Structure 1
Amino acid sequence: MKEKLIVIVGPTAVGKTALGVKLAKAYKGEVISGDSMQVYKGMDIGTAKVTTAEQDGVPHYLIDIKTPKDPFSVAEFQERCIPLITEINQKGKIPLLVGGTGLYVNAITKKYGFESMPTDEKYRQELEHHVKEVGTTELHKMLKKVDEKAAEFIHPNNVRRVIRALEVTKATGIPFSEQQTEENTESPYEVVMIGLTMERSKLYERINHRVDMMMEQGLLEEAKCLYDSGIRNCQSVQAIGYKELFDYFDGHSSLKEAVETLKKNSRRYAKRQLTWFRNKTETTWFDASDGLDKQTFNEIRLFIEGKLPFISK
Structure 2
Amino acid sequence: MKNKVIAIVGPTAVGKTKLSIEVAKRYSGEIISGDSMQVYRGMDIGTAKIAKEEMQGIPHYMIDIKDPDEPFSVADFQQYVTHYIDIITKKNKPPILVGGSGLYVQAALYSYHFPTYKRDEKVVEKLENEIAAFGIEPLYKRLQEIDPKQAAKIHPNNHRRVVRALEIYETTGKRMSDFQQQVKESPYDVKLIGLEMQRDELYRRINHRVDMMMERGLINEVEKLYQKGYTHEQSMQAIGYKEFIPYLKGEKTLEEAVETLKQNSRRYAKRQYTWFRNKMDVVWYDVSNGAINEKFRKILDDLAGFLHS
Shorter-chain TM-score tier: over 0.9
Q: Residues of 1 paired with 2:137 and 2:273: CA distance?
A: 23
Residue number in structure 2 paired with 1:228? 227
User: For 1:293-312, what aligned pairs fall within 5 Å after superposition?
Assistant: 293-310=292-309
Q: Residues of 2 paired with 1:132 and 1:264: CA distance?
A: 27
1:266 aligns with 2:268: no
**1:157-203 CA distances to partner (integer Å, 9 max, x unpaired)?**
222111111122223333323433x1111100011001111000011
| Amino acid of the structure 1 residue aligned with 2:188 | Y
Q: Residues of 2 paired with 1:235 and 1:134: CA distance?
A: 19
Q: Residues of 2 paired with 1:309 and 1:44: CA distance?
A: 36
| Amino acid of the structure 1 residue aligned with 2:161 | R
User: For 1:156-305, what aligned pairs fall within 5 Å after superposition?
Assistant: 156-180=156-180, 182-291=181-290, 293-305=292-304
Q: Residues of 1 paired with 2:103 and 2:59: CA distance?
A: 23
| Amino acid of the structure 1 residue aligned with 2:200 | S
Q: Residues of 1 paired with 2:206 and 2:292: CA distance?
A: 19
Assess, with a 3 A threshold, how the Cα gap between structure 1 residues 116 and 230 changes in structure 2: closer, same or farther.
closer
Q: Residues of 2 paired with 1:6 and 1:121: CA distance?
A: 40
Q: Which runs of 5+ in 2 are unaligned?
A: none
Contact 1:220 1:245 in 2 (8 A): yes
Contact 1:9 1:195 in 2 (8 A): yes
Deviation at 1:304, TM superposition (A): 2.0
Residue number in structure 1 paired with 2:139? 139
Tell me whether 86-95 or 107-116 shows the greater mean CA deviation.
Answer: 107-116
| Amino acid of the structure 2 residue aligned with 1:186 | E
**Length-normalised TM-score, structure 2:** 0.95
Q: Residues of 2 paired with 1:295 and 1:94: CA distance?
A: 23
**Length-normalised TM-score, structure 1:** 0.94
1:156 is paired with a residue whose SS is coil
**1:26-54 CA distances to partner (integer Å, 9 max, x unpaired)?**
11000001111001110100000010111
Q: Residues of 2 paired with 1:172 and 1:50: CA distance?
A: 41
| Amino acid of the structure 2 residue aligned with 1:53 | E
1:6 is paired with a residue whose SS is strand
Residue number in structure 2 paired with 1:13? 13
2:257 is paired with a residue whose SS is helix
Residue number in structure 2 paired with 1:66? 66
Deviation at 1:79, TM superposition (A): 1.2
Q: Residues of 1 paired with 2:83 and 2:37: CA distance?
A: 20
Deviation at 1:231, TM superposition (A): 1.3
Contact 1:117 1:168 in 2 (8 A): no
Q: Residues of 2 paired with 1:264 and 1:148: CA distance?
A: 26
Deviation at 1:116, TM superposition (A): 4.8
| Amino acid of the structure 2 residue aligned with 1:123 | V
Q: Residues of 2 paired with 1:292 and 1:140: CA distance?
A: 42
Residue number in structure 2 paired with 1:80? 80
Tell me whether 113-122 or 294-303 shows the greater mean CA deviation.
Answer: 113-122
**1:105-142 CA distances to partner (integer Å, 9 max, x unpaired)?**
11111100114566433212222232233333333223
| Amino acid of the structure 1 residue aligned with 2:224 | C
| Amino acid of the structure 2 residue aligned with 1:100 | G
2:65 is paired with a residue whose SS is coil
Contact 1:11 1:197 in 2 (8 A): yes
Q: Residues of 2 paired with 1:288 and 1:171: CA distance?
A: 48
**1:239-264 CA distances to partner (integer Å, 9 max, x unpaired)?**
11111100111122111111111110
Q: Residues of 1 paired with 2:56 and 2:219: CA distance?
A: 27
Contact 2:231 2:245 in 1 (8 A): no
Q: Residues of 2 paired with 1:228 and 1:118: CA distance?
A: 32
Contact 2:39 2:66 in 1 (8 A): yes
1:153 is paired with a residue whose SS is coil
Contact 2:114 2:179 in 1 (8 A): no
Q: Residues of 2 paired with 1:208 and 1:80: CA distance?
A: 32
Backbone CA RMSD of aligned residues: 1.6
